[in-house]
Structure 1
Amino acid sequence: MTSNRKTLSLRLGGEDETPTLGQTEILAHAIEHELCVRALYNRGRIILAPHILYERHGEAHVDGVVLERDGAKPAEVKLGTLKIIGLRDVVMTMEPVRPMASFDAHDPKYAEKILAVIGG
Protein backbone atom coordinates (compact mmCIF):
# COMPACT_ATOMS: atom_id res chain seq x y z
CA MET A 1 0.00 0.00 0.00
CA THR A 2 1.44 3.32 -1.04
CA SER A 3 0.44 6.57 0.53
CA ASN A 4 0.32 9.89 -1.24
CA ARG A 5 2.45 12.23 0.79
CA LYS A 6 2.18 15.92 0.25
CA THR A 7 5.38 17.59 -0.84
CA LEU A 8 6.17 21.12 0.10
CA SER A 9 8.08 23.26 -2.34
CA LEU A 10 9.75 26.62 -2.11
CA ARG A 11 9.30 29.01 -4.98
CA LEU A 12 11.64 31.93 -5.25
CA GLY A 13 10.36 35.21 -6.66
CA GLY A 14 9.79 35.13 -10.38
CA GLU A 15 11.21 37.56 -12.89
CA ASP A 16 7.87 39.28 -13.27
CA GLU A 17 7.85 40.47 -9.67
CA THR A 18 8.96 43.91 -8.63
CA PRO A 19 12.44 44.21 -7.10
CA THR A 20 12.63 44.28 -3.35
CA LEU A 21 13.23 47.57 -1.67
CA GLY A 22 16.37 46.03 -0.19
CA GLN A 23 17.97 45.56 -3.61
CA THR A 24 17.55 49.19 -4.63
CA GLU A 25 18.67 50.36 -1.17
CA ILE A 26 21.83 48.23 -1.35
CA LEU A 27 22.60 49.49 -4.86
CA ALA A 28 21.99 53.12 -3.85
CA HIS A 29 24.24 52.70 -0.81
CA ALA A 30 26.95 51.02 -2.90
CA ILE A 31 26.82 53.85 -5.46
CA GLU A 32 26.91 56.51 -2.75
CA HIS A 33 29.99 54.90 -1.17
CA GLU A 34 31.52 53.89 -4.54
CA LEU A 35 31.62 50.17 -3.74
CA CYS A 36 31.09 47.12 -5.97
CA VAL A 37 28.30 44.59 -5.52
CA ARG A 38 27.99 40.85 -6.09
CA ALA A 39 24.72 39.54 -7.47
CA LEU A 40 22.97 36.96 -9.59
CA TYR A 41 21.89 38.39 -12.94
CA ASN A 42 20.02 36.19 -15.40
CA ARG A 43 21.26 33.08 -13.57
CA GLY A 44 24.92 34.13 -13.71
CA ARG A 45 27.08 35.42 -10.85
CA ILE A 46 28.49 38.90 -11.47
CA ILE A 47 30.61 41.51 -9.75
CA LEU A 48 29.31 44.93 -10.74
CA ALA A 49 30.78 48.41 -10.35
CA PRO A 50 27.51 50.38 -10.27
CA HIS A 51 27.60 53.98 -11.54
CA ILE A 52 23.97 55.12 -11.59
CA LEU A 53 20.60 53.87 -10.38
CA TYR A 54 17.63 55.32 -12.24
CA GLU A 55 14.10 54.78 -13.50
CA ARG A 56 13.18 54.61 -17.16
CA HIS A 57 9.63 53.90 -18.34
CA GLY A 58 8.68 53.21 -14.72
CA GLU A 59 11.27 50.43 -14.25
CA ALA A 60 14.43 50.61 -12.14
CA HIS A 61 17.76 50.14 -13.92
CA VAL A 62 21.41 50.30 -12.94
CA ASP A 63 24.25 51.21 -15.28
CA GLY A 64 27.63 49.87 -14.33
CA VAL A 65 30.68 47.90 -15.37
CA VAL A 66 30.57 44.11 -15.03
CA LEU A 67 34.00 43.27 -13.66
CA GLU A 68 33.43 39.52 -13.51
CA ARG A 69 30.80 37.12 -14.85
CA ASP A 70 30.74 33.54 -13.54
CA GLY A 71 34.34 33.86 -12.34
CA ALA A 72 35.77 35.20 -15.62
CA LYS A 73 36.72 38.72 -16.60
CA PRO A 74 34.75 40.06 -19.58
CA ALA A 75 36.51 40.42 -22.93
CA GLU A 76 35.55 44.11 -23.09
CA VAL A 77 35.22 46.59 -20.24
CA LYS A 78 32.14 48.69 -20.92
CA LEU A 79 29.29 50.46 -19.19
CA GLY A 80 26.17 48.32 -19.44
CA THR A 81 22.54 48.58 -18.38
CA LEU A 82 20.94 45.98 -16.12
CA LYS A 83 17.28 45.84 -15.12
CA ILE A 84 16.93 45.67 -11.36
CA ILE A 85 14.18 43.09 -11.74
CA GLY A 86 16.79 40.65 -13.13
CA LEU A 87 19.11 41.04 -10.12
CA ARG A 88 18.99 38.63 -7.19
CA ASP A 89 21.00 38.22 -3.98
CA VAL A 90 22.59 41.68 -4.20
CA VAL A 91 25.44 42.02 -1.68
CA MET A 92 27.76 44.98 -1.25
CA THR A 93 31.51 44.29 -1.25
CA MET A 94 34.44 46.31 0.06
CA GLU A 95 35.96 46.55 -3.44
CA PRO A 96 36.06 50.20 -4.56
CA VAL A 97 34.55 51.34 -7.86
CA ARG A 98 36.82 53.08 -10.33
CA PRO A 99 34.42 55.29 -12.30
CA MET A 100 34.69 55.07 -16.09
CA ALA A 101 35.93 58.28 -17.65
CA SER A 102 33.27 57.99 -20.37
CA PHE A 103 30.38 57.89 -17.86
CA ASP A 104 28.05 60.89 -18.31
CA ALA A 105 25.38 61.35 -15.62
CA HIS A 106 23.74 64.01 -17.83
CA ASP A 107 22.94 61.53 -20.61
CA PRO A 108 19.29 61.98 -21.73
CA LYS A 109 18.47 58.34 -20.91
CA TYR A 110 18.74 59.23 -17.20
CA ALA A 111 16.33 62.19 -17.52
CA GLU A 112 13.25 60.45 -16.09
CA LYS A 113 14.43 59.90 -12.49
CA ILE A 114 17.89 59.40 -10.96
CA LEU A 115 17.85 57.52 -7.66
CA ALA A 116 21.61 57.47 -7.00
CA VAL A 117 24.69 58.52 -8.98
CA ILE A 118 28.39 57.94 -8.41
CA GLY A 119 30.25 61.04 -7.33
CA GLY A 120 26.96 62.77 -6.74
Structure 2
Amino acid sequence: MSDTRLELMRAIAHKKLVAARYNGAVIRLAPHLLFERHGDLFLSALNMSKNWRSDDERQLGQFKLAGLAAIEVIDEGFDPLPSFQPVPPRSDDLLVLTV
Protein backbone atom coordinates (compact mmCIF):
# COMPACT_ATOMS: atom_id res chain seq x y z
CA MET A 1 0.00 0.00 0.00
CA SER A 2 1.43 3.37 -0.98
CA ASP A 3 2.20 6.13 1.51
CA THR A 4 -0.14 8.40 -0.46
CA ARG A 5 -3.01 5.97 -0.01
CA LEU A 6 -2.27 5.52 3.71
CA GLU A 7 -2.06 9.27 4.32
CA LEU A 8 -5.33 9.88 2.49
CA MET A 9 -7.07 7.09 4.40
CA ARG A 10 -5.86 8.63 7.67
CA ALA A 11 -7.09 12.07 6.57
CA ILE A 12 -10.52 10.71 5.57
CA ALA A 13 -10.91 8.72 8.80
CA HIS A 14 -10.08 11.77 10.93
CA LYS A 15 -11.68 14.41 8.63
CA LYS A 16 -8.40 16.31 8.24
CA LEU A 17 -7.29 18.51 5.35
CA VAL A 18 -4.35 17.48 3.19
CA ALA A 19 -1.86 19.46 1.18
CA ALA A 20 -0.77 17.90 -2.10
CA ARG A 21 1.11 18.80 -5.24
CA TYR A 22 -1.22 18.48 -8.24
CA ASN A 23 -0.33 19.63 -11.77
CA GLY A 24 2.67 21.50 -10.38
CA ALA A 25 0.76 23.50 -7.75
CA VAL A 26 0.26 22.84 -4.06
CA ILE A 27 -3.43 22.61 -3.21
CA ARG A 28 -5.39 22.01 -0.02
CA LEU A 29 -8.04 19.30 -0.17
CA ALA A 30 -10.84 18.14 2.12
CA PRO A 31 -10.92 14.42 1.24
CA HIS A 32 -14.42 12.93 1.38
CA LEU A 33 -14.16 9.59 -0.43
CA LEU A 34 -11.53 7.19 -1.79
CA PHE A 35 -12.62 4.88 -4.61
CA GLU A 36 -11.27 2.58 -7.29
CA ARG A 37 -12.16 2.86 -10.96
CA HIS A 38 -10.80 0.35 -13.50
CA GLY A 39 -7.91 -0.54 -11.17
CA ASP A 40 -6.90 3.07 -10.45
CA LEU A 41 -7.48 4.89 -7.16
CA PHE A 42 -9.29 8.23 -7.10
CA LEU A 43 -10.08 10.75 -4.41
CA SER A 44 -13.30 12.78 -4.23
CA ALA A 45 -12.33 15.96 -2.41
CA LEU A 46 -13.22 19.59 -2.02
CA ASN A 47 -10.45 21.81 -3.37
CA MET A 48 -10.04 24.37 -0.58
CA SER A 49 -7.56 26.34 -2.72
CA LYS A 50 -10.21 27.13 -5.33
CA ASN A 51 -12.09 30.42 -5.11
CA TRP A 52 -15.77 29.53 -5.06
CA ARG A 53 -18.28 32.29 -5.76
CA SER A 54 -20.56 30.97 -3.02
CA ASP A 55 -20.77 28.10 -0.55
CA ASP A 56 -23.63 26.67 -2.60
CA GLU A 57 -21.32 26.24 -5.60
CA ARG A 58 -18.75 24.18 -3.75
CA GLN A 59 -18.52 20.65 -5.10
CA LEU A 60 -16.20 17.70 -4.93
CA GLY A 61 -13.59 17.17 -7.59
CA GLN A 62 -12.11 13.83 -8.54
CA PHE A 63 -8.35 13.46 -8.35
CA LYS A 64 -6.44 10.44 -9.60
CA LEU A 65 -4.03 9.35 -6.87
CA ALA A 66 -1.28 8.84 -9.44
CA GLY A 67 -1.45 12.61 -10.09
CA LEU A 68 -1.13 13.64 -6.43
CA ALA A 69 2.33 14.00 -4.91
CA ALA A 70 3.85 15.08 -1.60
CA ILE A 71 0.67 14.35 0.39
CA GLU A 72 0.75 15.88 3.85
CA VAL A 73 -2.05 15.62 6.40
CA ILE A 74 -2.73 19.05 7.94
CA ASP A 75 -3.88 19.28 11.53
CA GLU A 76 -7.01 21.13 10.49
CA GLY A 77 -10.40 19.45 10.42
CA PHE A 78 -13.31 19.93 8.03
CA ASP A 79 -17.02 19.21 7.91
CA PRO A 80 -18.21 17.20 4.90
CA LEU A 81 -20.31 19.14 2.39
CA PRO A 82 -24.00 19.05 3.37
CA SER A 83 -24.85 17.62 -0.06
CA PHE A 84 -22.26 14.82 0.24
CA GLN A 85 -23.52 11.28 -0.34
CA PRO A 86 -21.08 8.54 0.76
CA VAL A 87 -21.26 6.59 -2.49
CA PRO A 88 -18.79 6.43 -5.41
CA PRO A 89 -19.55 8.68 -8.42
CA ARG A 90 -20.35 5.79 -10.80
CA SER A 91 -22.21 2.56 -10.14
CA ASP A 92 -19.21 0.44 -11.28
CA ASP A 93 -16.72 2.30 -9.01
CA LEU A 94 -15.55 0.44 -5.90
CA LEU A 95 -15.78 2.29 -2.58
CA VAL A 96 -12.57 2.09 -0.51
CA LEU A 97 -13.24 4.57 2.33
CA THR A 98 -15.51 7.51 3.06
CA VAL A 99 -15.98 10.08 5.84
1:54 aligned to 2:13? Answer: no
Query: Is the CA contact (8 Å cut-off) linking 2:15 and 2:77 kept in structure 1?
Result: yes
Distance 2:43 2:91 in 1: 10
Structure 1: unaligned runs, 5 residues or longer: 1-19
Q: Does 1:106 align with 2:83?
A: no
Moved over 6 A (4+): none
TM-score (norm 1): 0.72
What is the count of residue pairs matched by the alignment? Answer: 95
2:42 aligned counterpart, secondary structure = strand
Q: Does 1:83 align with 2:64?
A: yes
Q: Give RMSD over aligned pairs.
A: 1.7
The share of aligned pairs that are identical, in percent, is 31
Higher relative contact order by CA 8 Å / sep ≥ 6: 1 or 2? 2
The offset of 1:105, in angstroms, is: 1.4
Q: Tell me which residue corresponds to 1:10.
A: none
TM value normalised by structure 2: 0.86
Name 2:7's counterpart in structure 1.
26
Q: Which has the higher strand share?
A: 2
Structure 2, unmatched stretches of 5+, are none
